[in-house]
């Protein structure tokens, strides 16, 4: 059974046996982070898009641990230029790794690395991670899109994270619709409360979702999928 740990904002780790993955490891300067970037030991670093609250400490972690960065072609190559091992992919593509598989989905959002997000990192993506027979969906930053219905129809999702913070991503009501499209067994709200501008209430989300179990995780909490 894969163990999923929420580390605040959009950062999660997925652990199954010797396989250790981190997605969007924004820890330094993340007011929600309960773990230091130096403490993380992983084999893979998955990054949804180039924004600093998602790349975060990813490059430093990958260089320190030798972990492979999985990201879209443009962002992965930027990480390679910074000294990381990489596995570039792109939207719609799936690949079998030693831990399971990863498929890249669309996300409606921006990209770009650096303080002013001006370094080109390709389009944002989401990840469908299959590990230990379970399917976990990390959509990255995105607004609501109707193809989430297709993603839900094509994949039996055990656990889906959904941003609810509004302003930069979908807010509560659109995330409720997203949950309806995805038909995941469990949904976990994230990307809220990190700063006042994305201060949504996860209880509002939980009260409105029907058809999936809503699990509210505090930073540091672990969930068995």
Q: Which does 166 bind (CB under 5 to 8 A by kind): Ni ion, Mn ion, none?
A: none
In angstroms, the CA 64 to CA 50 distance is: 20
For strand 134-138 and strand 94-96, is the pairing parallel, antiparallel, or unpaired? unpaired
Under the binding rule (CB under 5 A), the answer on residue 24 touching Mn ion is no
Smallest distance from the beta carbon of 109 to Mn ion, in angstroms?
A: 8
**For 94-117, b where at least 16 C-beta lie within 10 A, e where not — what string?**
eeebebbebbbbbbbbebbbeeee
Of 5, 9, 51, 103, the one binding Ni ion (CB under 5 A) is 51
Contact (Cβ atoms closer than 8 angstroms) between residue 19 and residue 97: no
Q: How many residues does the chain have?
A: 225
113-142 binders of Mn ion (CB under 5 A) = 141
Contacts of 175 (CB under 8 A, 6+ apart): 144, 162, 163, 164, 189, 205
Residue 224 buriedness (CB in 10 A; 0-12 / 13-18 / 19+): exposed
Q: Helix H segments across the chain?
A: 52-55, 58-65, 73-81, 148-154, 172-182, 202-208
Smallest distance from the beta carbon of 78 to Mn ion, in angstroms?
A: 17
Smallest distance from the beta carbon of 52 to Ni ion, in angstroms?
A: 9
Q: Which does 138 bind (CB under 5 to 8 A by kind): Ni ion, Mn ion, none?
A: none
Of 8, 24, 32, 53, the one binding Mn ion (CB under 5 A) is 53
Site string for Ni ion, 92-131 (x = CB under 5 A): ----------------------------------------
Place of tokens 């320190």: 64
Smallest distance from the beta carbon of 54 to Ni ion, in angstroms?
A: 6
Contacts of 119 (CB under 8 A, 6+ apart): 50, 78, 112, 113
Kindly tell me which of 16 and 166 has the beta carbon lying closer to Mn ion.
Answer: 166
Site string for Ni ion, 131-170 (x = CB under 5 A): ----------x-----------------------------
Give the interface size with Mn ion as a residue count (CB under 5 A).
2
Question: For 180, how many CA atoms within 13 A lie in the half-sphere containing its CB?
Answer: 13
139-198 binders of Mn ion (CB under 5 A) = 141
Kindly tell me which of 100 and 165 has the beta carbon lying closer to Mn ion.
Answer: 165
Residues that bind Ni ion (CB under 5 A): 51, 141
Residues that bind Mn ion (CB under 5 A): 53, 141
């Amino acid at each position: 059974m894969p163990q999923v740990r929420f580390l605040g904002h959009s950062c999660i780790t997925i652990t199954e046996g010797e396989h250790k993955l981190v997605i969007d490891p924004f820890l330094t300067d993340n007011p929600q982070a309960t773990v230091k970037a130096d403490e993380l030991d992983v084999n893979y670093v998955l990054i949804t898009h180039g924004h600093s609250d998602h790349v975060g400490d990813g490059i430093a972690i990958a260089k320190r641990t030798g972990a492979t960065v999985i990201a879209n072609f443009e962002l992965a190559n930027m990480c390679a230029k910074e000294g990381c091992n990489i596995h570039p992919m792109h939207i719609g593509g799936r690949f079998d790794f030693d831990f399971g598989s990863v498929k890249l989905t669309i996300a409606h959002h921006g990209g770009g690395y650096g303080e002013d997000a001006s370094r080109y990192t390709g389009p944002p993506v989401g990840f469908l991670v299959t590990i230990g027979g379970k399917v976990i969906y990390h959509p990255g930053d995105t607004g609501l899109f109707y193809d989430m219905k297709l993603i839900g129809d094509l994949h039996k999702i055990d656990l889906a994270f959904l941003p609810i913070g509004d302003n930069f991503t979908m807010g509560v009501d659109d995330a409720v619709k997203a949950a309806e499209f995805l038909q995941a067994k469990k949904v976990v709200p994230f990307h809220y409360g990190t700063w006042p501008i994305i201060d949504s209430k996860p209880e509002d989300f939980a009260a409105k979702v029907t058809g999936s179990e809503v699990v509210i995780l505090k930073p540091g909490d672990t969930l068995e999928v």
